[in-house]
Every structure is written in structure tokens, then in C-alpha cells.
Amino acid sequence: MCNILDKISKYFKVDSPAGMNKHGWRDYNALAMSKWDESPNLEKHEWPDNTLSWLHHTIIDKIIDLRSATGKPMFPSPVYGAHVRHSDSNSLHSTKNNTRLSKASDLFIRPEDMWDIWFKSIDMGFKGIGLYFNKWYGFTDNIMPMIHLDTRDNFLLWVSEKNGEYVYHTDPYNFFRIITRNLSRFQK
């Protein structure tokens, strides 16, 4: 006779072995995050509570590698939805109603580090990279650049500013116009 767990486990599977037990269920006690010990300047407590158990280990490892390669500080957004969204959307933050792990994370970066981090993200193989010039960190008059990083299949760059609309690199005129307009704003 089949075990009841085997019958119902198909409804709770995720697309990655990270954080799964032998039945394919989410295992909240065993995360496969191999690089935490290698990263003295990136700590678990920097992400909002219960975020890391829903982030795919590849995005975490790539962020750790990026921070190590640049030597620049990056501050995970304190907003849970900037990393994980338990919805059925096409966002890489989405867990598709708890059936997969998020493959995206949003991090605040210092203005003087923005371009080094952006170019290094491209060099290191992040596929989705967005720069936001309209986000505040901590309090409303502390506008800082925020970078979205994900591990999608196809390469996509975008920028966003005051009105919150995304402008993609496939529209180079407006893409670089927004970057140019914000260059002086964040230069020291």
C-alpha cells in the first residue's frame, strides 16, 4: 500500500532539491546554502524573517559571490516581498503559491558603488538585473539605489525611477536617458 505522503506530496513539490526532504516537501530545518560559511560580510539576519527558506540557493550563492568579488556592501531590502512573494505571478520573486523557490532578491547599494555592482552583476552571469532610482531605505528621505538580481533564463536589464515604470534595455534611448538623468543624482 502507498504511503499517504507519496500520494499527496505532488501538491507540495518545489523545482529544486534545496530545502526539500525525501518526500519532496519543503524542509524548513535544512537549507542547502553552502556558501554562508565563506561569506564573512553577508549574514542571514540581514534578510527579513522567513525569507531565506524560500530563496533558491543559487540566487543566494550568486549574491554572496558578487559581494565577495566587489568588496562592496549590499543591504537586502527589509521588505519581505522584495525577496519572496507567495503568489502565482510571473515574477521571479514568486513561489507560485508555495510550489517553487524564489529566484530573485532586491538589495540596496551605496550610490558610489552602484555602477561597479551593476557591471559586475552582468559579468557574473545574473540574467535579470534592474536598477531602481526611486526606493528609500529606512526612512522616506533616504533615497538609495536598489538593484534587483535574478537567475532567469533570458538576459534582461531594466531601470525604474519616480513613476515606477520599467524601461528595458530593448528601448536603448529611454533606458540610457534614465541612467544619464540619475548619474549626477547619485555621484559624490
- Mapped to the 3 state alphabet, what secondary structure does 123-183 carry? HCCCCEEEEEEEEECCCCCCEEEEEEEECCCCCEEEEECCCCCEEECCCHHHHHHHHHHHH
Confidence of residue 43 (pLDDT cuts 50, 70, 90): confident
The pLDDT value recorded for residue 159 is 94
Neighbouring-strand partners of residue 129 = 149, 157
Domain membership of residue 6 (yes or no) is: no
Interacting residues of 51 by C-beta distance below 8 A, sequence separation 6+: 76, 80, 83, 84
Please tell me which residue, 9 or 164, carries the higher pLDDT value.
164
Q: List CB contacts of 135: < 8 A, sequence separation 6 or more.
A: 77, 108, 143, 144, 145, 146
**1 domain-assigned:** no
Q: What are the φ/ψ torsions at residue 5 (nearest 5 degrees)?
A: -65, -40
Name the residue among 138, 120, 127, 123 with its Cα closest to residue 71: 120
**CB-based contacts of 177, cutoff 8 Å, min separation 6:** none
Within-domain flag for 60 = yes
Q: What is the mean pLDDT of residues 115-125?
A: 94
2 falls within a domain: no
Q: Which domain holds residue 152?
A: 13-186
Which grid coordinates are listed for 27?
524542509
Q: In the chain, what percentage of residues exceed pLDDT 70? A: 74
| DSSP state for residue 76 in the 8-state scheme | E
With respect to residue 181, please indicate whether it lies within any of the assigned structural domains.
yes
**142 within 8 A of 184, measured Cβ to Cβ:** no
Q: What 3-state class would DSSP assign to 109?
A: strand
Domain assignment of residue 168, yes or no: yes
Q: What is the tally of structural domains in the chain?
A: 1
Q: Does residue 47 belong to any structural domain of this protein?
A: yes
Per-residue pLDDT tens over the stretch 141-184? 777 889 999 999 999 999 998 777 899 999 999 999 988 888 77
Q: Which of 12, 76, 88 is nearest to 46 (CA)?
A: 76
Confirm whether 8 is domain-assigned: no
Residue 48 DSSP class: P
Tally of CB atoms within 10 A around 177 = 13
